[in-house]
Structure 1
Amino acid sequence: MLRVILIIAVVMLTVYCVVEVAQSRKYRVRTFPKWLWAFAVIAVPVVGPIGWLTLGRPRSEPARPLPPRAPDDDEDFLRGIR
């Protein structure tokens, strides 16, 4: 039973990583080209997906604050009128 669970976990991890590699933008992938990561994730069962998650995955972009919508929401504007 444990063997079946491990096989299912490896398959699920591989599928997750293949989908993530396919959806990532090629200029944001780190360390290797995107096609090489796809090959590694599919061809090398456990090491490929773990390598993708640790070394190849694009870093998330920091969230940008929304610009002020009205003058009274802009802190610089309010500082200027006081």
Structure 2
Amino acid sequence: MLRYVGFLVEIGLTVYCLIDCIQTDQYRVRNLAKSMWVLLIVLVPVIGAVAWLVAGRPEREPRLHAPWPSTQTAGFPEYERPRASADVDREFLAAMRESDEKHEQMLRDWERSLREREARLGDDVSAPDQDPQAPPQR
């Protein structure tokens, strides 16, 4: 059993390096062409595999501590975004409250205007003796 451990390690290392080399983008491979690395790993199993790990494999890029890979290219996820100061947050919230109040006042004015218009229309309908061509009285 102990006799086969070295052979299994050699096969495992060769298979790992071969798969890693094949899946690597050809423009990121260092020092040799990708096809040359595949041949080297297959023809000289242990030395080729170690050479791939040391000299051919692309250098690692710094990783973001994000749970999914899409944030690495899309920018900061919300929890990694630099926090603004509390003053800016208070100013923002005050501006939002003011905007909401203006919006509510505008809706109240519009609603009042609609009620007045409905009241005028109701008065016009109840007075049929007026000329239909005449403009409504205000």
Structure-1-length-normalised TM-score: 0.78
CA deviation profile, 1:30-56 (whole Å, cap 9, x unmatched): 010000000000000210000000000
Query: Distance in 2 between the 1:8 and 1:64 partners?
Result: 35
Query: Distance in 1 between the 2:77 and 2:3 partners?
Result: 55
Stretches of structure 1 lacking an aligned partner (at least 5 in a row)? none
Identity of aligned residues (%): 36
* Aligned mate of 1:67, from 67, 76, 82: 76
Q: Cα 1:38–1:67, aligned 2, differ >3 Å: closer, same or farther?
A: same
Aligned residues: 79
1:68–1:74 CA contact under 8 A, matched in 2: no
1:29 match: secondary structure: coil
Stretches of structure 2 lacking an aligned partner (at least 5 in a row)? 66-74, 89-138
Ranked by relative contact order (alpha carbons within 8 Å, sequence separation 6 or more), the top structure is: 1
The structure with more radius of gyration: 2
Q: Please give the root-mean-square deviation of Cα atoms over the aligned residues, in Å.
A: 2.5
Deviation at 1:68, TM superposition (A): 6.3
Query: Distance in 2 between the 1:13 and 1:35 partners?
Result: 18
AA of the residue aligned to 1:67: F
CA deviation profile, 1:7-63 (whole Å, cap 9, x unmatched): 111000000000000110000000100000000000002100000000000111122
2:8 match: secondary structure: helix
Query: Distance in 2 between the 1:29 and 1:57 partners?
Result: 6
Structure-2-length-normalised TM-score: 0.49
Deviation at 1:64, TM superposition (A): 4.9
Deviation at 1:2, TM superposition (A): 3.4
* Runs of 4+ displaced beyond 6 Å: none
Q: Cα 1:74–1:41, aligned 2, differ >3 Å: closer, same or farther?
A: same
Query: Distance in 2 between the 1:35 and 1:25 partners?
Result: 12
